[in-house]
Amino acid sequence: MFEIPCIIFAGGKSSRMGEDKTLLPFGGYSTLCEFQYKRLKQIFNRVYIVTKEPSKFPFEANFLEESYSVFAPTAGFVTLFGQLSDEAFFVLSVDTPFIDFAIIEQIFLEYKKTNQTTLAKLHNKIEPLCGIYTRSLEQEFVKMLQNNEHKLSKMLQMQHISFVTFKEEKKFFNLNYQDDYIKAREMNLTHLDEKDRPKMVDVSSKDATTRVAIASGKIQMSQEAYDNIVNEQNKKGPVLQTAVIAAIMGVKQTSTLIPMCHPLNLSGINCDVEELPELPGFKLIVTTKLTGQTGVEMEALTGVSVGLLTIYDMVKAIDKGMVLHEIQLEKKSGGKNGDYQR
């Protein structure tokens, strides 16, 4: 989980939506805001909601109450800088419900390199309410609020900002209009029935096609732990060989671990290990394949995760500070959504 706090910008009644979008039901919750709050609580240790009216929300949460008359993100930024003492914050608009862990992690990894404000870009367009802001911009926001200037893009162009560029437009889908809200519910509710109860998607009508997925991940460790593995000195046995076996087993157990994943008749599983002496550490690459009606991305990602965890388990007596990171889908092919290449 991320240590920096996550701030949800809740806003209020939208002229384009015609009502308060934060209070619309979404994803099995009574409000969109609660949906965002509950899912982000699984990623961040602390989540706050910036709003002018905490009392309008029918659920318990950590609220940062705005006291400014203006309806603009600048008021929210001044509020969060004033009420919290942290040096950095992850900021997300309430109406972008598909920003997921993978996107947040990439932004966070870039931020760790620079320790400066780091924002998402969709193609070449800045997403000012999806990213990490640092306290170095506090006075800029105060000045903007005092001068009644509220165009974030103008201010950001004059600052030292890092960007992470993304291409997945669906992840940045924004609920601006009623049609957007209807479409977003359709996008989100594939695993819920008409009564918002969990269900597994029926794939029986899909065509069977050849589907391949490749996922990878890294584990970083101390030099002592790395040497122990490559020199095969571990008392528990051959670490890398065991990790490969674990990755394959993890692939086959995906449907028992991930609730909405289908049991699959896989036709191929492969796990490769790369030594990364400069890290030091290792990279696992898992390839999964089948001819069927649903994809194998989750199987590849689960295999990578289990394989890396196995390495951690076998070497934790030497180094408990090992870090698993960059667990990601590298490539997929097959299915109606087409191919993907990172």
Instruction: Please list the active-site residues.
Output: 313
- Residue 251 CA to residue 230 CA, distance in Å, equals 25
- SS3 track for 63-97: EEECCCCCCCHHHHHHHHHHHCCCCEEEEEECCCC
Whose CA is closest to 266, among 278, 249, 283?
A: 249
Q: Terminal CA-to-CA distance of the chain, rounded, Å?
A: 24
- Tokens 């203006």 appear where? 70
H-helix segments, the chain? 32-40, 73-83, 101-114, 138-146, 152-156, 178-188, 223-230, 239-252, 254-257, 297-315
Residue 300 neighbours by CB distance under 10 Å: 31
Q: Which residues contact 233 (CB under 8 A, 6 or more apart)?
A: 227
Q: State the Cα–Cα distance between residues 122 and 71, nearest whole angstrom.
A: 25
Q: Which residue has the tokens 């996550």?
A: 6
Q: CA–CA separation, 151 vs 20, rounded Å?
A: 22
Query: What's the CA gap between 109 and 152, in Å, rounded?
Result: 23
6 DSSP β-pair partners: 47, 90
Of residues 96, 60, 57, the one with CA closest to residue 188: 96
What CA–CA distance (Å, rounded) separates 59 from 82? 24
Q: Which residues pair with 121 in a beta bridge?
A: 126, 165
Closest CA to 220 of 301, 283, 272, 304: 283
Task: Name the E strands within 146-239.
Answer: 162-166, 209-220
Integer Cα distance of 285 and 42 in angstroms? 26
Neighbours of 53 (CB within 10 A): 13
